[in-house]
Structure 1
Amino acid sequence: MTWFEHNFWTMVLATASIVGSVIALIHLLLRHHDYRSAAFWTALVVFTPLIGPLLYLLLGINILRRSGRRYRSGINEPWRDPVPEQPLPISSTDSWAMQEHQQLARTLDRISRFSYTLGNHLEILHNGDEAMPRMLEAIRGARQSITLASYIFEATGIGADFVTELSLAVKRGVQVRVMVDDAGTRYSRPPVVEALTQAGVTARRFMPSRMLLRLITMNLRNHRKILVVDGHTAFTGGMNIREGNMVARKPPHPVHDLHFQVTGPCVAQIQRVFTEDWAFCTNETLDGPLWFPDLTATGSTSAIGIVDGPDEDMEVMPAAFFAALNAAREEVKIITPYFLPNAVLIAALRLCAVRGVEVIILTPAENNIPFVGWAARTLYPDLLSMGCRIFESAPPFDHSKLFLIDGVWSFLGSTNWDPRSLRLNFEFNLACHDPELCRRLAAEMDTKLAQSREITHEMLENAPVLHRLRNGFARLFIPAL
């Protein structure tokens, strides 16, 4: 290489680095609203020229809000129904408690673009051992339509059973639509979308990263788990379709989890979420009685769907969580596999404890993403100092997600308490008002707590110095985790 060529390419790289840094900093100053995350990205852009702007382009910019508005505007979305004065059918001798519950219900009704539904029934399913056979049974019984969305869907093991049953449903004349997140298809070989297509099932990847421009959205994943059969029966929660969930089969890497079978009027909201995402992937509109039949009451649970994602639903879930924490008067119980809440939710948890609310948080002792577990432990001291109680569950890894308030409110679905879930991923939760359901879920948590260890200040202070340094280093990356 000649002297001229060497200097030419040096100048090109230097110019690209300067221009990229300036553009990234301008975008940060004008568009990035989370000051902590903005500070992290600013430091990365300034101190790692060229690499920093590239990482910000790939991981830090959200380009989906406008496109989300566009594709959903064409499917007659009920954006805001009037919020009734009394959204919940609550009758209580405690007028103060009744008023508090109605206020939270009205708040969630305003936060969500759905409205409260009455008369639902939810059944708790433990691990893949209970959930997967029940889901396969529902698919076998389908007569009109099946919609299925999953973050991870393996083509082998229990996933192969799903491929077979979905294919048989198509042969029976059932309309079947399957959507799998592109990143989630890479957890097994062969990719399940190819296996489904070969079996005659209409299947699509969500936001496939094939073209260069798709790299910009590589970090925005569809984390929702939805199965709706004949528009009447739904399954949702946090469970992926993979062999590791079949704990009784003793897989190499077992995963504990909870999933839910849902019937009643809120199934239409779950179906709605799938059809919106399907329209985004394929431009096909799923509507009419085939997908949305008339639904009647099947139980006593009041429920509302809460949709969150890096589009026009940006940060809806953190707002709902904050509203629930603010409304708590007696107890807050959280199970999450990844505990990295933002500063606002940490402050809300601390204030709950200050007000005398019992706050219990359960998270795995050995995380399947160790870096996340290391960073999470740096958040413990501030919470412990205010009276929050933190427990770590022993292996195998627990992927369950629950958020319980005052023995009556239950939040369940796909959302983790981490930046990726609360800001980057497409998520779906149900917020349920039902004392009996909450009692059963609290019993599930009590069982897990009995097999866990409580974390204390002394344990954290006596940890080896190298572990504390490692954890402190991991904390620097919380905005990107």
Structure 2
Amino acid sequence: MHDFLIHYWPHILAVLSFVFGATAAIHAAMTKDEVRAAIGWVGVIMLSPILGAFIYAIAGINRMRRASITDRRSDLRDEISREEELHGVCNADIMSGFGPRMVAMWRLGTKVAGVPATECNHVQMLSSGDEAYAAMIAAIEKAERSILLETYIFDSDSIGRKFVDALADAVKRGVEVRVLVDSVGARYSRPSIVGLLRERNVRTATFNGAVLLRMRLPYANLRTHRKILVIDGGIAFAGGMNIRAAFTGPDAAHDTHFRLEGPAVADYFAVTAEDWFSETKELLSGDAWRVVDNHPEGRGVIARVVPSGPDRNVGNNNKMIIGALSVAEETVMIMSPYFLPDRDLVSALATAARRGVIVDIVVPDDNNLKTVDHAMTAQFDEIIRDGSRIWRDLGPFNHSKLMTVDGKWSYLGSTNMDSRSLRLNFETDLEVFDEAFAADIASRITAARERARQVTREMLASRHYLRKLRDRLLWLGLPYL
């Protein structure tokens, strides 16, 4: 065998190069939706068939096949039927309250998200880590039946340990507790919080955590970016806030999270339970996991949960954002820490601005991810040229992901406006039809804009050529930043 390998290794390498390269190139050509992406990957593979195929396996496959996974909503048909019967809204409700353009948006959401928009949802905004974490821990401490938590980053710091203590105490009380942490996010701190959770008897899994052991290498670049906590099937916390001490204290980074009660909680539970099932094959059923029709008095807001991710929900968030831009008549306000829109979204922004819609985009001045910030800057000139306005928030770093249109429709949650969130990550957002709620979102964005400096084309053009070149080169990595 040794002599055989020495003599024939060039032939073996040639065969392996052909097999790996051809397989990867065919997969790229058959699965990529964008011709530029397909050409780029085929070119990389042809230049170095084995190495290129390996890189493509890690970073190029952006769809997770989850057809065999039970859709958790099918196991909640009784709750969802009741949800639609008691709290569902119809065309006439949206027309009378928000006008024909928002009817189009409501129809789009129904098609895209596949879940109903419901009334009687009560949303309490939580604007800081101190406020959000205190509310979440208080809810965990009061839990009687079940706690389901999914998050991207769960740091092993002072805040993370407070959550661990609260979750472990709930286990001791007999509460069913499940925690799902992204495998990448779990490594943001050392030691990982996962070990501590398991030591305290909290049932914990990592999302996509065994990509090598289970031969799931093609999915190594796909992450859950969701931040969802469901208590007793009746209260949900969601938004953009990870669990980490960086969002607490007087000089903390800012973010927006919210507490939700109402029929939309069932959809947050369905999304998170399905993700748990995909990793553990445990179906969360029985009395402990019962979803309750529990909401305060009053009509509340009309809301819909919009899940998205590199599976059957691919591009849902992008479709919703582009749809909102297409129906806007007067104003669009956006806040995002990482603003790297793809070509479709850039075109939608340009079209809205050219129609006379005032489009304001607020991003941090001092970003926590410098590489992403440089790549963002490379796109600013084109976006400003087409009529949108970009503002650099001079206050503390703001991790909020907020959007509102015409003072009627709002969109908030975990989605950043970059290719990773719009195509690679598993995300969950909340669509809200309500004027008072939209005014609240607009006031938050306006407050940031008032302490911001506007980015101008002259300012961008005055930068040194080497800085512009650096930004442009980093921009080439846009799909994976």
Matched, 1:442 2:442: yes
How big is each residue's C-alpha offset from its partner over 1:27-53, in whole Å with a ceiling of 9 and x where there is no partner? Answer: 122111122322332332233443222
Q: Distance in 2 between matches of 1:452 and 1:23?
A: 50
Q: Could you tell which deviates more after superposition, 385-394 or 421-430?
A: 385-394
Give the C-alpha shift of residue 75 in structure 1: 6.2
2:231 to 221, 229, 240: 229
- AA matched with 2:303: A
Q: Provide the residue aligned with 1:293 in structure 2.
A: 292
SS of structure 1 residue aligned to 2:74: coil
Partner of 2:102: 101
Return the offset for 1:63: 5.0
Q: Which residue of 1 aligns with 2:149?
A: 148
Partner of 2:216: 214
> Offset at 1:110?
1.4
Q: 1:480 to 1:6 in 2, by over 3 A?
A: farther
Tell me the distance in 2 between the aligned counterparts of 1:479 and 1:185. 22
Structure 1 stretch displaced more, 156-165 or 291-300: 291-300
Moved more, 78-87 or 50-59: 78-87
* Amino acid aligned to 1:170: V
What's the counterpart of residue 118 of structure 1? Answer: 119
Distance 2:287 2:432 in 1: 26
Instruction: Tell me, in whole angstroms, the C-alpha distance in 2 between the residues paired with 1:9 and 1:366.
Output: 53
Matches within 5 A, 1:36-435: 36-62=36-62, 64-65=64-65, 68-73=66-71, 76=74, 85-86=90-91, 88=93, 91-92=96-97, 98-209=99-210, 210-211=212-213, 213-248=215-250, 250=251, 254-291=252-289, 292-296=291-295, 298=297, 299-394=299-394, 396-435=396-435
Which digits, 9 at most, give the CA deviation of each residue in 1:183-209, with x for residues without a partner?
A: 111111222121111111111111213
Please say if residues 118 and 297 of structure 1, whose CA atoms lie closer than 8 Å, have aligned partners that are also in contact: no
Would the aligned equivalents of 1:127 and 1:247 in 2 still touch at CA under 8 Å?
no
- Change over 3 Å in CA distance of 1:89–1:63 after alignment to 2: closer
TM-score normalised by length of structure 2: 0.92
Q: 1:13: Cα distance to partner? A: 3.9
For 1:22 and 1:87, how far apart are their aligned partners in 2?
54
Identity of aligned residues (%): 37
Shifted more, 412-421 versus 371-380: the winner is 371-380
Q: Is the 8 A contact 1:40 1:479 kept in 2?
A: no
Are the aligned partners of 1:270 and 1:305 in contact in 2 as well (CA < 8 Å)? yes
Take 2:130 and 2:459, find their aligned partners in 1: how far apart are those partners? Answer: 35
**Can you list the C-alpha shifts for 1:278-318, whole angstroms capped at 9, x where unaligned?**
11122221235533122345552100111101111111111
Alpha carbons 2:146, 2:177 under 8 Å: kept: yes
In structure 1, how many angstroms separate the alpha carbons of the residues matched to 2:314 and 2:68?
15
Residue identity opposite 1:229 in structure 2: I
Q: Distance in 2 between matches of 1:74 and 1:294?
A: 17
Give the CA deviation at 1:261.
0.9
2:170, 2:111 → 1: CA distance? 39
Contact in 2 for aligned 1:409/1:435 (Cα 8 Å): yes
Quick one: distance in 2 between partners of 1:296 and 1:170?
A: 26
User: C-alpha separation between the residues in 2 aligned to 1:370 and 1:455?
Assistant: 17
The number of equivalent residue pairs is: 470
Residues 1:452 and 1:247: Cα distance change in structure 2 (over 3 Å): farther
Partner SS state of residue 290, structure 1: helix
Which letter does structure 2 place at the counterpart of 1:374?
H
Q: Comparing 356-365 with 20-29, which one deviates more in the overlay?
A: 20-29
Cα distance 1:412–1:134, how it changes in 2: closer, same or farther (>3 A)? same
Q: Contact 2:158–2:245 (CA<8 Å) still a contact in 1?
A: yes
Preserved CA contact (<8 Å) 2:167 2:177: yes
Question: What's the secondary structure of 1:255's corresponding residue?
Answer: coil
Match of 1:72, SS state, is: coil
Supply the distance in 1 between the matched residues of 2:337 and 2:3 (Cα, whole angstroms): 55
Deviations 1:185-241 (A, max 9, x none): 111122212111111111111121351613221111011000111112111001100
Q: Distance in 2 between matches of 1:46 and 1:247?
A: 52
> d(CA) in 1 for partners of 2:287 and 2:296?
17
Corresponding residue of 1:479: 479
How far the C-alpha of 1:58 sits from its partner, in A, is 1.0
Could you give the per-residue CA deviations for residues 64-101 of structure 1, whole angstroms, max 9, x where no partner exists?
Answer: 23xx2211257626899999751745535xxxx51111
C-alpha distance in 2 between matches for 1:392 and 1:43: 37
Counterpart contact for 2:94–2:102, Cα < 8 Å: no
Structure 2 vs 1, CA of residues 7 and 444 (structure 1 numbering), >3 Å: closer, same or farther?
farther
CA–CA separation in structure 1 for the residues paired with 2:312 and 2:366? 35
Query: Residue 479 of structure 1: CA displacement?
Result: 2.5
SS in 1 for 2:126: strand
- 1-structure distance, mates of 2:76, 2:198: 33
Letter in 2 for 1:86: N
Q: Could you tell me which runs of 5 or more consecutive residues in structure 2 were left unpaired when the two chains were aligned.
A: none
Distance change in 2, residues 1:190/1:320 (3 Å)? same
Residues 37 and 479 in structure 1, CA contact (< 8 A), matched pair in contact too: no
Aligned-residue offset at 1:3: 12
Tell me which moved more, 82-91 or 345-354.
82-91
Give the TM-score, by structure 1 length. Answer: 0.92
Q: Is the 8 A contact 1:87 1:106 kept in 2?
A: no
Displacement of 1:258: 0.9
